[in-house]
Amino acid sequence: MQNNYLERILTARVYDVALETPLELAPNLSARINNQLFLKREDMQEVFSFKVRGAYNKMVKLSPAALKRGVVAASAGNHGQGVALAAQRLNCRATIVMPFTTPQIKMQAVEARGATVVTHGDSYDEAYAYAVKLGKRERMTFVHPYDDPDVIAGQGTIGMEILRQHTGPIHAIFVPIGGGGLISGIASYVKRLYPEIKMIGVEPLDADSMYQSLKQQRVVRLPQVGLFADGVAVKQVGAETLRLCQELVDEIVLVDTDSICAAIKDVFEDTRAILEPSGALSIAGAKAYIKREGLRNKHLVAICSGANMNFDRLRHVSERAELGEQREAVMAVTIPEEPGSFKKFCALLGTKSITEFNYRYADPKEAHVFVAVSVRDRAEAAKLIESLEKSGLHTVDLTDNEMAKLHVRHLVGGRAREIKNELIYRFEFPDRPGALMKFLNSMSHHWNISLFHYRNHGADYGRVLVGIQVPPEEKAEFKMFLNQLDNHYWDESQNPAYKLFLG
């Protein structure tokens, strides 16, 4: 039983504000993956995301009295813009509660529509709780971003358009999942008419609330979520969206940050459009699914759900895109510290393009070189590493080493051998004005900081590498200190990148 979602979608009021967006073939990407991949361009909506559909369909059905009192919503950006545009068209007051980590471009876009922005909390969930409280206090209607039948039906009109625009057989439709409203709506329409079409949700590895909920057959609340794909950074899916996904979704594909960055580049090369990370999620999922299943010559659809990208974040995306496409290998190579060894090393690389090379004298016998090289795929990278090893050059593959990619490549040559009892930890914290100082204050303790590296990646998480001198007899006290911090952290003291370049 789907609560008559087919009827709800067919009668949804969305086209007062929404476009019927094009379904476009991605020719270059399709040729590379040996399948026909069609992009549903929801990034072309007036607010650059699909969210306006569900928001308007919910709000247009409110009574005149409810519209007069106004609406309130919680949003990491895109839903807020949808509510703001709907309120503008309906001449209704709108208040949008947004977490401090929301990109400025999204806050400014909401305010430009005449809505009031209230910032609260470091995550969507904190903003949500405050918005619900605010709505009750001021008797405003709360417009839920996903767990509402009218919102779900509004998003479901995308499924109606896809089937109208693509008349041939579709093997699968890939949909990004945050709270689950988008995939619930599309699946409710598509599966009712063509149950053989696979509905595949895509989530980031570090924000997999729907995957965990389906696995445990209940709404699971994640303690933490990664914020890179901020549009889907939801700790808890909806009860109604979980019910629909249990019934209608075939599977969930999980992808990492590098894969998302590669997908952003893929879409840019085909369309010259720059998707936000959550907007490119479905393309990353489609590529992973095709590779896993060995698909060929199938027609596939991926939802480009949004393009509200902070310009500063492009630096991080461009750095990681080649890694996500597995077209760059990052390695630590040990070569003899003697004349001619560097030339020999370069000769072994042959005509391969070196994208990064870091070296500083540190030892009279051995030189440790941090190098990144363009490759066709991981198989070629493995072959290169094997070739270097056979030539007597010890090589460590750092391509999947987060500490190496985020920090060490910018610190190579910073050895300090006289430092005793050094522990290396990597931390993440919600990045917003004043966040680094707050983090530094939390680190103010009697242990000496021997290394510190922070770099703004244009992402929503601040990433810091810290060296701390902790005597052996104080390690238990240090562990207690770590557990009191309100931050993600990883012990990197045994990381080979640290040992080779910084230890």
**pLDDT cut 90: percent of the chain above it:** 54
Q: With beta carbons less than 8 A apart as the criterion, state whether 122 and 461 touch.
A: no
DSSP one-letter code for 486:
S
- Residue 4 φ/ψ, nearest 5 degrees: 55, 40
Does the pLDDT of residue 313 top 70, yes or no? yes
C-alpha 271/C-alpha 302 separation (Å) is 14
Go through 218-241 and write b for each residue having 16 or more CB atoms within 10 A of its CB, e for each that does not. ebbebeebbbbbbbbbbbbbbebb
Q: What is the largest CA-CA distance in the chain?
A: 83
**Angle ∠(29,30,31) on CA atoms, nearest 5:** 90
pLDDT digits (tens, 9 = 90+) for 231-254: 898 899 999 999 999 999 999 999
C-alpha 58/C-alpha 425 separation (Å) is 47
Catalytic residue set: 51, 305
Q: What is the pLDDT of residue 306?
A: 94
Return the residue matching tokens 């609330």.
Answer: 209
Query: How far, in Å, are 13, 49, 307, 353, 459 from residue 144 at the CA level?
Result: 17, 16, 21, 49, 26
pLDDT digits (tens, 9 = 90+) for 365-387: 887 888 888 887 888 888 889 98
C-alpha 65/C-alpha 455 separation (Å) is 50
Q: With beta carbons less than 8 A apart as the criterion, state whether 173 and 197 touch.
A: yes
* 1: number of Cβ within 10 Å: 6
pLDDT digits (tens, 9 = 90+) for 490-503: 899 999 888 887 77
Domains located in the chain, CATH noted: 5-49+149-322 (3.40.50.1100), 52-142 (3.40.50.1100), 326-400 (3.30.70.260), 415-501 (3.40.1020.10)
Does the pLDDT of residue 352 top 90, yes or no? no
Name the average pLDDT for the chain: 88
Q: How confident is the model at residue 427 (pLDDT cuts 50, 70, 90)?
A: confident
* 391: number of Cβ within 10 Å: 13
- Does residue 368 sit in helix, strand or coil? strand
pLDDT digits (tens, 9 = 90+) for 104-146: 778 888 999 999 999 998 777 788 999 999 999 999 999 999 9
Return the residue matching tokens 């209230």.
Answer: 118
Q: What is the pLDDT of residue 1?
A: 42
**Angle ∠(286,4,69) on CA atoms, nearest 5:** 95
C-alpha 459/C-alpha 465 separation (Å) is 16
Closest CA to 171 of 209, 139, 145, 197: 197
C-alpha 321/C-alpha 318 separation (Å) is 5
Q: With beta carbons less than 8 A apart as the criterion, state whether 412 and 359 touch.
A: yes
